[in-house]
Amino acid sequence: MEPAVGAWCGNAEICFRLHDHEHRLKSVRLRSGAASGEFSYDAERRSWELRLPRPPVRRVEYHLELGHPDGSNEIVCDPDNPRRSGESSVLWCPDYREPDWLHLPQAAGRWREVYLPLPAVRGEMIARIWSPDTRTDRVLVAHDGPDFLRYGEIGRYTGAMIGAGRVPPYHLVLLPPGERFEWYSASPAYAKALARDVLPKLAAELGTDRPVVGAGASLGALAMLHAQRRHPERFAALFLQSGSFFQPRFDRQESGFRRYLRIVRFTGRVRRDAAFDAGVPAALTCGAVEENLANNRDMAAVLGRQGYTVSFSEVPDAHNWTGWRDALDPDLTRLLQKVFI
């Protein structure tokens, strides 16, 4: 039986119904990275309704765009669906399951902060570091650290995986994005800052001389690959989620981004290289309904041809932190098991 209002998911379709008993709204539109469409008003039910073929996802994060009679528009969470993911409404399909590690005990450890001056970009950052109580020289460094911690739950993942013995103990370093659109857009200055200012100081702080595993999502993934291409000696492996590996044939819709051409030039150089002597293990993931899917498929193939040991997973989600969180295991787990020996 269908609910009177709210959102629901079947095997073949996703459905949304918003009550509007007085028909005060002029229009309702679904805004989502997984699907979009205009609602129609059902006078008998006195509600707005939208039915769409189910996209290849197991959950849908979305907002509703409400059109008012005065011509104004308002973007809101679905008032008839109480489930939230961050600042979005979310619809779970029957086959969606949260990761099991969310419910595992955490390994003992502690957090601390390290101040990092960045003369190469005339900036600075404060990195957050989680270290297990067990001594280790292994390090995972992640871009977009605050969001990766809050929404991607990489700290919780780390504690759970180490506590369960699924991966060896390691330090987790979370780097804040700073001037994100500038630093994470294939910036030579930021790559220099990461390789010459950030990673050496972290190595001294943690008492290790091992190269790190670099992780990032979206522009953060692009920036991590860019840094590894310019300073390969610093990296043991890469974990890249939904990387913004823009190419004109796939991504002209991104051409308004002010650093689009710099990204395109970098991606083009990577693609033109017949080989790369410092290839490392690399795990790439991307959502099945993302605009970035084509360029991620292509980048995975390119890196594989150049000597990287590549795994690529298309996950049943879109371009969002929960989708990236849900892909940590098994994709990051397998990478760490391979590299952290």
pLDDT tens across 151-164, in order? 999 999 999 999 99
- The pLDDT of 317-331, averaged and rounded, is 98
For residues 115 and 85, state if they share a domain: no
Q: Which parts of the chain fold into alpha helices (H)? A: 145-150, 154-163, 180-183, 188-192, 199-206, 219-230, 248-251, 260-272, 293-305, 321-326, 333-339
For residues 35 and 112, state if they share a domain: no
For residues 21 and 117, state if they share a domain: no
Among 44, 66, 92, the domain boundary falls at 92
Asked whether residue 1 is assigned to any structural domain, the reply reads: no
Asked whether residue 309 is assigned to any structural domain, the reply reads: yes
pLDDT surpasses 90 at 3: no
**Element holding 128 (H helix, E strand):** strand 123-132
End-to-end CA distance of the chain: 52
Q: What percent of the chain has pLDDT over 90?
A: 98
Q: How far out from the chain centre does Cα 85 lie? A: 14
pLDDT in tens, 276-305: 999 999 999 999 999 999 999 999 999 999
Asked whether residue 244 is assigned to any structural domain, the reply reads: yes
2 falls in which pLDDT band (50, 70, 90)? confident
Type of residue found at 166: R
For residues 18 and 109, state if they share a domain: no
For residues 55 and 121, state if they share a domain: no
Looking at residue 333, its pLDDT comes to 99
Output the CA angle 189-190-193, nearest 5 degrees: 90
DSSP string over 262-289: HHHHHHHHHHH-S--TT--EEEEEEETT
* Long-range CB contacts for residues 272-277, cutoff 8 Å, separation at least 24: 273/306, 274/306, 275/306, 275/307, 276/229, 276/232, 276/303, 276/306, 276/307, 276/308, 277/307
- The pLDDT of 11-36, averaged and rounded, is 97
- The pLDDT of 104-123, averaged and rounded, is 98
For residues 279 and 167, state if they share a domain: yes
For residues 238 and 133, state if they share a domain: yes
- The pLDDT of 306-332, averaged and rounded, is 98
Looking at residue 205, its pLDDT comes to 98
> Looking at residue 234, which CATH number applies to its domain?
3.40.50.1820
> Looking at residue 73, which CATH number applies to its domain?
2.60.40.10
For residues 214 and 315, state if they share a domain: yes
Output the CA angle 212-215-216, nearest 5 degrees: 150
Q: How many CB atoms lie within 10 A of CB 226?
A: 25
Asked whether residue 216 is assigned to any structural domain, the reply reads: yes
For residues 27 and 137, state if they share a domain: no
pLDDT surpasses 80 at 127: yes
Among 57, 75, 92, the domain boundary falls at 92
Q: What percent of the chain has pLDDT over 70?
A: 100
Tokens, residue 46:
């006195």
For residues 322 and 254, state if they share a domain: yes
The mean of the pLDDT values for the chain is 97
Q: How far, in Å, CA of 152 to CA of 142, rounded?
A: 11
For residues 86 and 106, state if they share a domain: no
248 falls in which pLDDT band (50, 70, 90)? very high
Asked whether residue 260 is assigned to any structural domain, the reply reads: yes
> Whose structure tokens read 């690399």?
282
Radius of gyration in angstroms for the set of CA atoms belonging to the chain, rounded to a whole number? 22
Among 92, 121, 141, the domain boundary falls at 92
Structural domains counted in the chain: 2
Decide: helix, strand or coil at residue 301: helix
Q: What is the value of pTM for the model shown?
A: 0.96
Looking at residue 1, its pLDDT comes to 65
pLDDT in tens, 166-199: 999 999 999 999 999 999 999 999 999 999 999 9
For residues 105 and 204, state if they share a domain: yes
Tokens, residue 61:
């994060």
Q: Tell me which residue range forms the domain holding 143.
A: 100-339
Are 110 and 131 in contact by the 8 Å Cβ rule? The answer is yes
